[in-house]
């Protein structure tokens, strides 16, 4: 094999390897952009250990608006970032975890619950929440504004 063919083969190998590395880093970036959902038991324990508020998303596989929220709200970069930084996110399938859903008196889906660092329920927001509405709700809960004002007053101050 002459030297020109050797370098041509070497170049092709290097290019292929660099593309495979790019592919890997792209998939890692996608994973970093997901919400770090926990199951109920692990999430509740983590919330107490890290002294963070908890967001619980109750859903069911058959629920159209649950799927819409997963597709639109929980893929929004701002929502993902705010939730991952400020909350312990828990996802609960209400069909498979009926006891947990009953404890929170979930009557419709989707249902979003917020729990304080102490484990006390802060409150819930039933139904579909779009990304534009979710961000101020998250800020209202995270900043403890719910302790001193209504959500309407919080929105008026913004």
In this prediction, residue 158 carries a pLDDT of 80
In this prediction, residue 1 carries a pLDDT of 57
Answer whether 66's CB lies under 8 Å from 60's CB: yes
Do 88 and 46 share a structural domain? yes
Q: What is the DSSP letter of 122?
A: E
Confidence of residue 46 (pLDDT cuts 50, 70, 90): very high
Do 96 and 20 share a structural domain? no
The count of domains in the chain is: 2
Do 144 and 92 share a structural domain? yes
Do 91 and 13 share a structural domain? no
Provide the residue range defining the domain that includes 25: 1-32
Do 26 and 86 share a structural domain? no
Q: pLDDT for 97-138, tens place per residue?
A: 999 999 999 999 999 999 999 999 999 999 999 999 999 999
CATH of the domain at 104: 3.40.30.10
Mean of the pLDDT values across residues 19-45?
68
Alpha helices in the chain, H assignment, sequence order: 3-32, 40-50, 64-68, 77-86, 98-103, 131-142, 151-157
pTM score, two decimals?
A: 0.79
Furthest-apart CA atoms within the chain: distance in Å:
79
Average pLDDT, the chain: 87
Q: What is the DSSP letter of 102?
A: H
Do 91 and 43 share a structural domain? yes
Do 45 and 5 share a structural domain? no
Query: Any residues with CB less than 8 A from the CB of 113 and at least 6 apart, and which?
Result: 55, 56, 58, 104, 121, 122, 123, 124
Do 42 and 22 share a structural domain? no
Do 99 and 134 share a structural domain? yes
Do 67 and 40 share a structural domain? yes
Mean of the pLDDT values across residues 14-19?
45
Do 119 and 75 share a structural domain? yes
φ/ψ of 121, rounded to 5, equals: -70, 130
Query: Which has the closest alpha carbon to 84: 31, 123, 132?
Result: 31
Query: Which has the closest alpha carbon to 110: 99, 98, 126?
Result: 126
Distance of alpha carbon 158 from alpha carbon 150, whole angstroms: 13
Do 45 and 13 share a structural domain? no
65 or 4, higher pLDDT:
65
Percent of the chain, pLDDT > 90?
78
- Strand, coil or helix: 121: strand
Asked whether the predicted pLDDT for residue 139 surpasses 70, the reply is yes
């Amino acid at each position: 094999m002459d030297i020109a063919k050797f370098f041509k083969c070497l170049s092709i190998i290097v290019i292929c390897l660099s593309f495979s590395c790019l592919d890997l880093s792209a998939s890692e970036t996608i994973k970093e952009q997901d919400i770090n959902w926990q199951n109920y038991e692990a999430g509740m324990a983590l919330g107490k250990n890290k002294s963070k508020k908890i967001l619980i998303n109750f859903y069911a596989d058959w629920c159209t608006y649950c799927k819409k929220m997963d597709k639109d709200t929980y893929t929004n970069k701002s929502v993902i970032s705010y939730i991952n930084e400020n909350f312990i996110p828990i996802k609960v399938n209400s069909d498979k975890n009926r006891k947990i859903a009953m404890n929170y008196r979930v009557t419709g889906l989707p249902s979003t619950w917020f729990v304080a660092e102490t484990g006390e329920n802060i409150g819930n927001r039933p139904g579909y929440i779009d990304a534009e509405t979710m961000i101020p709700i998250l800020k209202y809960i995270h900043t403890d504004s719910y302790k001193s004002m209504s959500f309407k007053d919080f929105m008026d101050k913004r």
